Amino acid sequence: MRIVGQLSTARRIVRNLLRSRRNRNALLKRLEHETPPAPGSIEIAVYFADTRVNLYQIRQWYAPLAELAREHPVAIISRSPGTMMTLLDEAPVPAVYLRKVVDLEQFVSEQPLRIVFYVNQNAKNFQMFRYGRMWHVFINHGESDKMYMTTNQYKAYDYAFIAGDAARERLARKLWAYDLDRQTLQIGRPQADHFAGELPYTPDDRTVVLYAPTWEGDRPAAAYGSIASHGERLVDALLATGRHRIIYRPHPRSGVVDREYRDANARIIAALERANASDPSGQHVHDTGSELGWQLAAADVAITDISAMVYDRLATGKPLLITRPASPEAEIDDSGYLSDCEWLLPEQAAEIVPLVDRVLTSTEAHDKLTHWVQRYFGDTSPGVATARFHAAVETLYTEWDRVAAQHAGDRVTSESNPFDDEDDEDAAPGEE
């Protein structure tokens, strides 16, 4: 059995290497027709050493980065050929492929970098940390109460941009000897200023309900999915009113583990299709798109499972209900927002209509939501988070000028790097 396992591992490594070489060769041909940023032109870089599987982490920053690039030139650094190919197709700012540390060294020597952003904790971030005379800033790729949000790795960065008071309190509880006053700047959720897009329906007087469940999970402690326990009954109840429009956005992995879950998902999709066929004015949506934003902004009420979607929706400041897991083994962090949220129990799924009406009209529900929105994100009025993001950048620019003036006469030296390795598609992934 051990030999079989070793052979399987060896085959996987060979496949990854071959795939990486193919991607690299294809990329090098394409780069022959791309114009890289000119030397001396980039002041802010986003360092993304990860592979394509985690591209969602930097995609969340595309719109804010494009906005920031109007004031300061921005580029994304990629270390993976597959990732770089995708970035060339979709990134709104220039991307540069720096496979080896020697390539990174040349880029750093040519560009007047002041700030380097990081969206995850990839092990290769360490290779960028060696360069001084710039601020290394962790901006993360989301907001939640997960353990990932308080990792001791925060201390590796000069600064961290955090969402709000909730993030600050988490870090204060978990990290020893971390200077929150000096090293953190609160910016809210600038992505929420870009939660827009073309609607796949014509708005009318229907109440729009986003139902965005996660998948069933691969272990009892992570069994947060609600499709089988809540989904069918709540969808049927909303469809029956004739005054609701459903945007159904299931996790793409829904049903990969549990056949019951997969079948329930299929029945919900079929129910939406039947409803649209019998009454086209319903314009119910089965959303499978890669872009997330318009759904959160357009919905009058959102129903989500315990997932990052909770906090993406919370950043809009609009009503939401969270499904309480049916499994007693599912782990629930009862601190923070989940200690005081609007829960939807499995046995309440068929009675979803009055619950939706309540979170829309109840002063108590509104006041409670406002409290938690402000604690996690501060002011969520349109444009405020973007302004705070830009102000944080300007603060670091000012600090850079001050420190650079103090060290104007220092001599800059370069050292050889023993960790100059070649990238491949099986490189150490970022967390989350």
Tens of pLDDT, residue by residue over 282-311, are: 999 999 987 889 999 999 999 999 998 999
pTM for the predicted model, two decimal places = 0.84
In angstroms, rounded to a whole number, what is the distance separating the alpha carbons of residues 263 and 97?
43
183 shares its domain with 108: yes
Q: What is the DSSP string of 322-377?
A: EEPPS-TTS----SGGGGSS-EE-GGGGGGHHHHHHHHHH-HHHHHHHHHHHHHHH
pLDDT at 110: 97
- Higher per-residue confidence, 22 vs 358: 358
In angstroms, rounded to a whole number, what is the distance separating the alpha carbons of residues 25 and 7?
27
* Helix or strand run (H / E) with residue 84: helix 81-90
pLDDT at 384 over 80: yes
135 shares its domain with 65: yes
In angstroms, rounded to a whole number, what is the distance separating the alpha carbons of residues 169 and 151?
13
Among 149, 146, 138, 164, residue whose Cα is nearest residue 317: 164
In angstroms, rounded to a whole number, what is the distance separating the alpha carbons of residues 225 and 213?
6
Q: 337-378: per-residue pLDDT in tens?
A: 999 999 999 999 999 999 999 999 999 999 999 999 999 999
In angstroms, rounded to a whole number, what is the distance separating the alpha carbons of residues 387 and 313?
20
Strand locations in 143-243, DSSP E? 159-162, 184-186, 207-212
389 shares its domain with 367: no
Q: What DSSP state is assigned to residue 272? A: H
Q: Is residue 360 part of a domain?
A: yes
pLDDT at 66 over 60: yes
pLDDT at 85: 94
pLDDT at 410: 77
Q: What DSSP state is assigned to residue 223? A: -
pLDDT at 112 over 80: yes
- Residue span of the structural domain in which 98 resides: 11-188+384-406
The first and second tokens of residue 118, run together, are 């990081």
Q: Is residue 202 part of a domain?
A: no
Q: Is residue 31 part of a domain?
A: yes
Angle, in degrees to the nearest 10, between helices 232-241 and 259-278: 10
- Between CA 253 and CA 211, with CA 148 as vertex, the angle to 5 degrees is 35
Beta partners for 74? 44
249 shares its domain with 150: no
pLDDT at 130 over 80: yes
176 shares its domain with 27: yes
Q: Write the CATH number for 128.
A: 3.40.50.11380
The first and second tokens of residue 20, run together, are 């990486």
- What does the pLDDT average to over 63-81? 97
98 shares its domain with 230: no
- Percent of the chain predicted with pLDDT > 70: 90
Q: Is residue 397 part of a domain?
A: yes
Number of folded domains that form the chain: 2
